[in-house]
Structure 1
Amino acid sequence: MPRPYDLPSLGDLSCFEAAARNLSFKAASSELNVTPAAVSHRIKALEQELGQSLFNRHYRGVELTEAGALLFVSLQRGFETISDTVARIRNRQDRVGVSIAATTAMSGLWLTPRLAAFWKAHPGVAISQIVQDSGTAQGVDLSIHYGDPAREGDETRLLFRDRILALGTEQFAESHRIATLDDMVEVPLIHTQSGLNAWTEWPDWFQALGRPPPTGPGFFLNNYLISLQAAEDHIGAVLGWEGLLGGYLGSGRLIQLVPDAMPSPHAFYLRIHGGASANARLFADWLAELG
């Protein structure tokens, strides 16, 4: 009976992946708890089966050949998919629950306020939020991102895309005499540098509005909620997504400093990870319709 997949030994492939990732047979042997000779033997067997050299061996180490690099990239993608699926299976308590990853800001400002309405309509579906500000979301059904959904390999749902405003307190606006866009160039600005979501930054904002980069003092933070708190403390101006910060604007905690606004270059979107349950898709569609 023919094999369904045209693959070499999975043990050889796993050994090659470890050696390619570390660019070291010795490091791979330590990771796999085998001898360096065993690693070398498995890779030689793989090279013989493929009819291609996968490594260039040098006195001080090894480097991937073109064929080796091609195989390594393919294996990484496959192993990442398998790892994600295994993590989801391990972490899933039941099939009726839904797990969703989002940054602290997205969870607090947008997602959590909407959960009560979902539970009212679907009381039998449990939602687990995974707050994650850096790294790649793994072992979840859904995750929220800011960027280009076309770059995702998985299915996506558009959540919203709106305007980006310059925000601050009324006291900050008065103390720095801010009335027009030109008044913003030299005032203190709060910059958010997050690992998971590449926020649109002040230089992008000024450029989109036809102005040179800002020259005022900068305060750099790695959490958007802390950036908002700093703005509330009158430390500087912060960029804000109109749809994300309706509560701040409605309550007057922050105000729009100038009438100018930049159309958001990216959207907030939902990624549906492979193997997501029917309830996860139900929740995804509900969020997308809510926008």
Structure 2
Amino acid sequence: MESLCRACKYAVRTSGRLMGVTIGAMLEEIQGLYQQHHQPCFLYLSSEVIKIFGSDPSCANYLKSLIEALFMHTTRILTNIQEFTARPDIADDCFLLASRCIRYCPQLFIPSPVFPSIVDCSMIGITIQHREASNSILTFLSDIFDLANSNKGEQYLPIRDSVIIPRGAVITRILIAALTGALPSSRLETVTYTLLTLSRSYGAQAVEWAKKSVSLIPLTAVTEIERSRFLKALSDAASGGDINALAVPIDELSDVCRRNRTVQEIVQGALRPLELNITQ
């Protein structure tokens, strides 16, 4: 199966749009085989197809069908963190594909009915311990938050906001949990960037989400001063400050919350990153 997909990938890469009508037949096969075998190589092959054909209007119907079929099926597989952990390659390639869709065919992906589902799926998987899968999920989220800076992305901001704003408080809580111990400290840079892009995109609203999340952490774990420094960094990001200059107070909060096992358990018990529906 891997070898077959690799051959198709090179065919797409070398022939490009010269493939003509054969691309439609290939995409139909991908959909059927993925639903039957659940192999991540079909997602990787689809990423190559999106890169080459994403902006081609003549392929729009084929690609829309492909995107919806692949993502719908994947979200039915990855329904909890245990499934993410058991299938990290699918998670990795799924969100690499989603990021590629944002870049090359936002007109097909963002208005589609699977967009909210894939955002929900990403929230479940943020804390996966697999490095590549975790990075793919976090990059996908930051790509969504940075949509205004992408090619032709600005026109889809109302759709994006209708999906992200109702989920914003939960996404923020999970990202802060990831920052403070749910993910290894080696992921800190990626988590920090995702959180700061969220703040930059949603301004005071994102800072308020963060304030509610941080308030869940007991003062025995984090002092008011440490909370305030962290929130000020997010507020500065929301006001257009240089993201690279704001990492220090975020790193400090992360270090404080990871200083020993007891504190880390207190923080994670308060933030509960695996629970998507808790009252803040």
TM-score, normalised via structure 2 length: 0.27
| Structure with greater proportional strand content | 1
Bigger Rg, structure 1 or 2:
1
Which has a greater percent of helix?
2
TM-score (norm 1): 0.27
